[in-house]
Amino acid sequence: MSSAGGTKTVGVSMSAFDDNFLTVLRNGMVEHAETLDGVDLQIEDAEDDVGKQLNQIENFIAAGVDAIVVNAVDTSATQAISDAAAAAGIPLVYVNRQPINIDTLPDNQAFVASDETEAGTLQATEVCRLLKENGAPQANLLVLQGELSNQGAVVRTQMIHDTAATPDCSFMKIVEEQTGNWQRQQGADLMANWITAGVEYDAVVANNDEMAIGAIQALKSAGIAMDSVVVAGIDATQDALAAMQAGDLDVTVFQDAAGQGRGAVNAALALAGGEAVEQKVYIPFQLVTPENLQDYMTAN
């Protein structure tokens, strides 16, 4: 599809378009590509459908794109994507969601994201610090998980457990843990159910901001004072920062979505040009609290 020195075409398959964080990531790719000469992005929405995503990859291959970028629908189903791209000799870059075959990627495939262990640890450690400040001998945690097929959700949740197992934070006890599939409405529904069931809690720790915001909506609908509960998310989306500014969200973790998007495009173009790249490129996470909130208001 490209001639020497001509336009490079990069096919991009996003797991979903209707996700606030992934929209920032997608826009980061588009805006970065616009600053480069001769780069054409073809972006498709997999609509959270594994089969549809694989079809998109096959269509990109048939069209002869120069490189492919994938935000995986299901991180446990990426081997087939890698195999298809490798068979066609087309470079492939996974972005944001770690493929299950991360340690066996061919030389012309790479992964650009942030280290999820860092996200979960930053979040849980700050929740521990806030609860310790409140002085309770034991603190009950409600955990809202992302999609269970997603490596990020699994690791972020594990870091909450690992932090609660440390001597410093062993007063934290996880009393409920359910998946809200990254969705705001599901986060609200789960929180409403826990409130109705009379579950006792001191903190709500969500794998992402959308579920945290849903939990906040349910708490406020039930007339619960937001200063009586610690609520934590991850991603530092604009909606989350607004919730923090309003005094509702206590903790989030900035994941540089636009930075991941730029990194993925750069890696794809480098591979398409025959250059070697690092197979694992990590963009650092950063803790966001009311104290440093203003530093992030224009970041995503």
CA pair distance 26, 22, nearest whole angstrom:
6
- What is the mean predicted confidence (pLDDT) over 35-59? 97
Which tokens is 161 given? 């457990």
Instruction: Tell me the mean pLDDT in the region 25-50.
Output: 97
Q: Which of 8, 11, 22 is nearest to 69 (CA)?
A: 11
Q: Are 67 and 110 in contact, with CB atoms under 8 Å apart?
A: no
Does residue 299 have a pLDDT over 70?
Answer: no
Q: Is the pLDDT of residue 3 over 70?
A: no
The residue ranges of every structural domain in the chain are 8-113+257-282, 116-254
Q: How many CA atoms lie less than 13 Å away from 123 in the CB half-sphere?
A: 37
Q: Are domains 8-113+257-282 and 116-254 of this chain identical in fold?
A: yes
**pLDDT tens for residues 241-268?**
999 999 999 999 998 999 999 999 999 9
How do 203-206 and 172-179 pair as beta strands? unpaired
Q: Cα(137)–Cα(92) distance, rounded to whole angstroms?
A: 50
Q: Supply the pTM of this predicted model.
A: 0.80
Q: What is the mean pLDDT of the chain?
A: 95
pLDDT at residue number 1: 41
**8-113+257-282: CATH superfamily:** Response regulator (3.40.50.2300)
Q: State the residue for tokens 């935000």.
A: 71
Rounded average pLDDT over 212-240? 97
- Tokens standing for residue 114: 């942030």
Q: What is the pLDDT of residue 2?
A: 43
Name residue, tokens 């250059």: 275
104-157 pLDDT, tens digit each:
999 999 999 999 999 999 999 999 999 999 887 899 999 999 999 888 999 999
pLDDT of 4 strictly over 60: no
Question: Backbone phi, then psi, for 229, in 5-degree steps?
Answer: -145, 140
Which residues, at least 6 apart from 294, have a Cβ–Cβ distance to it below 8 Å? none
CB neighbours (10 Å) of residue 194? 21
* pLDDT of 300: 57
* Mean pLDDT within 192-200: 98
Spatial contact of 160 and 205, defined as CB atoms under 8 Å apart: yes
Neighbours of 133 (CB within 10 A): 9
- Superfamily of 116-254 according to CATH: Response regulator (3.40.50.2300)
Query: Residue 5 has what pLDDT?
Result: 54
User: Which residue from 8, 10, 19, 5 is spatially nearest to 210, judged by alpha carbons?
Assistant: 19
- Number of H helices and E strands in the chain, helices first, is 9, 12
